Chain A
Amino acid sequence: MQHLIPEFDKLKQRYPAGFESSLVLPCLRRIQEDRGYVASEDIDGLVDYLGVPRIQIEEVLSFYGQFRRKPIGRCHVQACRNISCSLLGAERILDHLKERLGIAPGETTPDGRFTLSTVECLAACGTAPVLMVNDTYHESMTPEKIDALLRSVP
């Protein structure tokens, strides 16, 4: 994460003095964006840079659903399975994904292209069922749209 430090220095300027601890979440997000996950050496580097206890970073990484400490597939397919999506076919959508990708939620395809996850409400209930693919919402999904989406991933 050392090459990210100039960015972090700029970020720190935006916060009041004494807010070093607050930088944990934004720095971890940026590290994960850069590497694909957060590695142990990233944690060490962040401990040095921010001066926070290592355990705080470990706790944060394990508490929040979006952080990961291991790499995943190139395309992270996250299917909402909460109430409005369920009322509009999320279970069917998930079954379709499982069948097409041949994996269960939590797993990655052998070729490393796709990782499948289930997630909670994404606040896109009006256009359910919803998938979040990497950072993008894909709304009003149907099996056909899913097939087109999967085909489009290199």
Chain B
Amino acid sequence: MANAKLLMTFPVTAMSHTLAEYRARGGYGALEKVLRQMTPQQVVTEVTASGIQGRGGAAFPMGRKWGVVHPNDGQPHYLCANADEGEPGTFKDRWILEFAPHLLLESMLIASYALQVRNAFVYIRGEFDGPYRRLAGALEEAYEAGYLGEHVLGTDFACDLVIYRGAGSYVCGEASALITSIEGKRGYPRNRPPRLTVRGLYQKPTVINNVETLSNIAWIINNGGEAFKKVGHPKDPGTRLISISGHVARPGVYEIEIGHPFAKFIFDDCGGVLGGRALKGVIPGGISTKVLTGKEIEPLTLDNPSLASAGSSMGSGGMIVIAEGTCMVRLLQVLLRFYHHESCGQCTPCREGMGWLHRIIDRIVAGEGRPEDIERLYQISKWNDGTTICGMGDAAGYATSGILNKFRDEFEYWIEHKRSRFDGTLECPRSS
């Protein structure tokens, strides 16, 4: 299968992120084409034709999201790039921010033109100091070169962009919480209806897209939506940046064509499991996706339909590899502590449920687990499924029930014997 590259198309050097190098690679050509030859509606049509789905975790078709925004409705429209990248195991948007910031900016300008956005934002997590400086540098270059401001490339299209820094909150990666954070408040997610594309930032139509999703726009404009559809999987077109980490020999960010064989990716492309150990399991797309065993991934391909058939998802593209001998009880403990810490506290099932899950797993690890604890963990997960204001409650539930489904025996063991079946640490030595 041809391994197309749409984003990682250049060698990363000390200067490859600069405007000069980006332009030398053909950068801002798509923006020129759009401003000189296309109407906003034509841009929306092209993006819709590409079939591209969101790469932040929810996989919502970008064209469908854009289509809700009514042109010429007399209201300001806003565009926000979601650069909050807080899903544990995920670090692929960071690659774009550090090494291809102009790709993001150009794509956002095209999107702003299409959606009649005068003011665009990049919401970048507060901890990303290095990536922020890269992006801010690129922004300054872009302004100086006339790609932003009152007359973009000398046309009537006006667009300004602000980089908005977060301040340490995972839930601000959720679209409605992100918007509320840009409004200068706590990152509290909002109930829907109304959809954010109807009432978002300061109650105006707002489109939020993931950094990677947006960054594909330049290619789509240069090559066409139909061409994009031919890459990857018919139901999930394009490529994905996968950030792989954990017990893997060659961790890092890789671009794969969607539909790439799962096992091949781990064992060939990424060097297999650390220390030559057997593969115990993989969390495919960030901790909120259900874990798959080493056996289960064998027939699977890296696309949403295939992973859905196995009860999981591509999620945020944050792949975590787990070697044989790792204690899944301790692993779940890390995850539940995280969810507890990050719950915004608004709605009852998540606020109370996250703390409850965390206290139960802590009690199990402390040797005070009870047989009914496993059912209790399932029950709390179910109570958070589809009933919360945002997806975080659901996510914790998927992580919990996913691990329990595949590794229940380890929990039963710990409850009965008051200790891990293994050595209880999570670390795997780098060399055998």
Q: Do chains A and B touch in the complex (CB under 8 A)?
A: yes
Residues of A within 8 A of B (CB): 14-16, 18-19, 21-26, 28-29, 52, 56, 59-60, 63-67, 81-84, 86-89, 91-92, 119-128, 132, 135-137
Q: Write out the residue numbers on chain B whose beta carbons fall within 8 Å of the beta carbon of A23.
A: 184
Q: Write out the residue numbers on chain A whose beta carbons fall within 8 Å of the beta carbon of B375.
A: none
- Residue from the list B88, B128, B428 in contact with A125, Cβ < 8 A: B88
Given A19-B202, A25-B165, A125-B245, A86:B426 Cβ within 8 A: yes
- Residue from the list B182, B326, B342 in contact with A87, Cβ < 8 A: B326
Given A120-B170, A123-B91, A22:B164 Cβ within 8 A: yes
Given A84-B89, A84-B245, A128-B245, A66:B168 Cβ within 8 A: yes
Q: List 27 A-B contacts (CB under 8 A).
A: A15-B162, A21-B184, A21-B185, A22-B164, A24-B184, A25-B167, A26-B164, A64-B126, A65-B169, A83-B89, A83-B283, A83-B338, A84-B245, A84-B246, A84-B320, A87-B320, A87-B426, A88-B246, A88-B427, A88-B430, A91-B425, A92-B425, A92-B427, A121-B338, A123-B125, A123-B128, A126-B251
A interface SS class = mixed
B334 within 8 A of A: yes
The interface on chain B, measured as residues whose beta carbon lies within 8 A of the other chain's beta carbons, has a size of 61
- Residue from the list A21, A132, A137 in contact with B183, Cβ < 8 A: A21
Q: Write out the residue numbers on chain B whose beta carbons fall within 8 Å of the beta carbon of A137.
A: 129-130
Residues of B within 8 A of A (CB): 76, 85-91, 93-94, 118-119, 125-130, 160, 162, 164-170, 181-187, 202, 243-247, 251-253, 283, 287, 318, 320, 322, 326, 331, 334-335, 338, 341-342, 344, 425-428, 430
Cβ B169 vs Cβ A63 within 8 A: yes
Given A120-B86, A121-B88, A121-B89, A87:B184 Cβ within 8 A: no
Q: Nearest Cβ in chain A — how far from B255, in angstroms?
A: 14
Cβ A88 vs Cβ B164 within 8 A: no
Cβ A87 vs Cβ B246 within 8 A: yes
A15→B253 CA distance, assembly (Å): 34
A126→B86 CA distance, assembly (Å): 14
In this complex, what residue of B is CB-closest to A124?
B91
Q: Write out the residue numbers on chain B whose beta carbons fall within 8 Å of the beta carbon of A128.
A: 245, 251
Cβ B243 vs Cβ A126 within 8 A: yes
Cβ B85 vs Cβ A29 within 8 A: no
Interface-central residue, A23, A60, A86, A121, by most chain B CB under 10 Å: A121
A24→B89 CA distance, assembly (Å): 30
Cβ A14 vs Cβ B160 within 8 A: yes
A56→B180 CA distance, assembly (Å): 12
Q: Write out the residue numbers on chain A whose beta carbons fall within 8 Å of the beta carbon of B334.
A: 81-83, 86
In this complex, what residue of B is CB-closest to A21?
B184
Q: Nearest Cβ in chain A — how far from B345, in angstroms?
A: 9
Cβ A120 vs Cβ B338 within 8 A: yes
Q: Write out the residue numbers on chain B whose beta carbons fall within 8 Å of the beta carbon of A18.
A: 202
- Residue from the list B129, B184, B186 in contact with A136, Cβ < 8 A: B129
Q: Write out the residue numbers on chain B whose beta carbons fall within 8 Å of the beta carbon of A82.
A: 88, 334, 338
- Residue from the list A15, A52, A65 in contact with B167, Cβ < 8 A: A65
Cβ A67 vs Cβ B167 within 8 A: yes
Q: Nearest Cβ in chain A — how far from B425, in angstroms?
A: 7
Cβ B342 vs Cβ A25 within 8 A: no
- Residue from the list B182, B253, B287 in contact with A126, Cβ < 8 A: B253
- Residue from the list B184, B243, B252 in contact with A60, Cβ < 8 A: B184
Cβ B426 vs Cβ A91 within 8 A: yes
Q: Nearest Cβ in chain A — how far from B343, in angstroms?
A: 12
Given A64-B168, A83-B334, A122:B427 Cβ within 8 A: no
Q: Write out the residue numbers on chain B whose beta carbons fall within 8 Å of the beta carbon of A28.
A: 167
A24→B335 CA distance, assembly (Å): 31
Q: Write out the residue numbers on chain A whose beta carbons fall within 8 Å of the beta carbon of B86.
A: 120-121, 123
Q: Nearest Cβ in chain A — how far from B430, in angstroms?
A: 8
A14→B162 CA distance, assembly (Å): 7
Cβ A22 vs Cβ B183 within 8 A: yes
